Amino acid sequence: MRSAISDASPALNHAGGRKAMDYAFYPGCSLDTVAREYRESIEAVFTRLGVGLTELADWNCCGATALPSTHPLTSRVIAARNLALVGEEAGVRGLAVACSGCLVALRRAQEALEAGDDVSEKMAAALNSIGRSPRSHVRMRHILEILVADVGLEKLRSSTSRPLSDLRVVCYYGCQIARPRNDFAPPELPTAMDELMAAVGAEVLRYDNKTRCCGAALISTKKPVALRLIRELLDEARERHADAMVVLCPMCQLNLDAYQEELRRGSEASYRLPVLYFTQLAGIALGIPAGRLGLRRTMVSPAKLLRDRLGVAI
């Protein structure tokens, strides 16, 4: 997490100066810690495709997880502060967000600001007290939406130099990117990640549990419940004979990857399924060196799979 609530300069690039850019980028806490490989693969893929990302300077936690239940107003204010940091410089097409939980938190803050009620007034007052003006019309885009809808599948196809033609995958979206309802990821049957994986050559298998919950933070408070949910997701992937599960959420990746060994204990089932971010596999297809995609950081190593099926050494 970056600094607590304070004043900050407009969005800057990593070198410290302004630059022309396509999107402001809100990475969120996970991409600086447990999901560094996600961030590395995002930046590598966007660079290869010529899409600019400029990180918000002095961003803070979005206030997801428990805070909305214990301090709803505080959670909205700290999320809204991130929206206030989004500059209005020419060329910024919106705010790119990588984590599904962050996207939900930021959208809820935006809706609260737009409500015109007592809560929105309190949020505005809190932001004004730190020298910030509320921004309620920031165009937020998940990175998957940017790649599929803005960059486009045809661009991804034409940029693919190492097709994933020998790889069978299931695409798991998790329960948050499609909720609340939005045009990009309908909760009944999202398809954008399936389409992207197919565009870069993978064989995308049917997967009926694509928007069921992985247990999320219940892994810390009600572990048996979370493990049962994780098992159900992995079991369907095994039944489909998937080589790998493709995800887009740091919490989902952590649960599905880190707890396979625990599920193997006392079970006849063998859980050794690589759980990879869609940007990692897209990066391979785009010819990005494997070392730039964080592929060594997963608990279930994809090394043998990628070597045997794609000839890629990590």
Nearest to 287 by CA among 49, 36, 52, 35: 49
Residue 160 amino acid letter = T
pLDDT digits (tens, 9 = 90+) for 184-221: 777 778 999 999 999 999 999 999 999 999 999 899 99
Residue 228 pLDDT more than 50? Answer: yes
Token pair belonging to 139: 């165009």
With cut-offs at 50, 70 and 90, classify the pLDDT of residue 268: confident
The structure tokens listed for 93 are 């097409």
Contacts of 197 (CB under 8 A, 6+ apart): 164, 169, 171, 204, 246, 278, 281, 282
Determine the pLDDT at residue 269. 77
Residue 191's pLDDT is 95
CB atoms within 10 A of CB 43: 19
Residue 297 buriedness (CB in 10 A; 0-12 / 13-18 / 19+): middle
Please, what are the domains in the chain?
23-142 (1.20.1050.140), 160-310 (3.40.50.11810)
pLDDT of residue 181: 66
pTM: 0.90
Scan for tokens 């419940």, then name that residue. 225
Which residues 6+ apart lie within 8 Å of 264 measured at CB? 270, 271
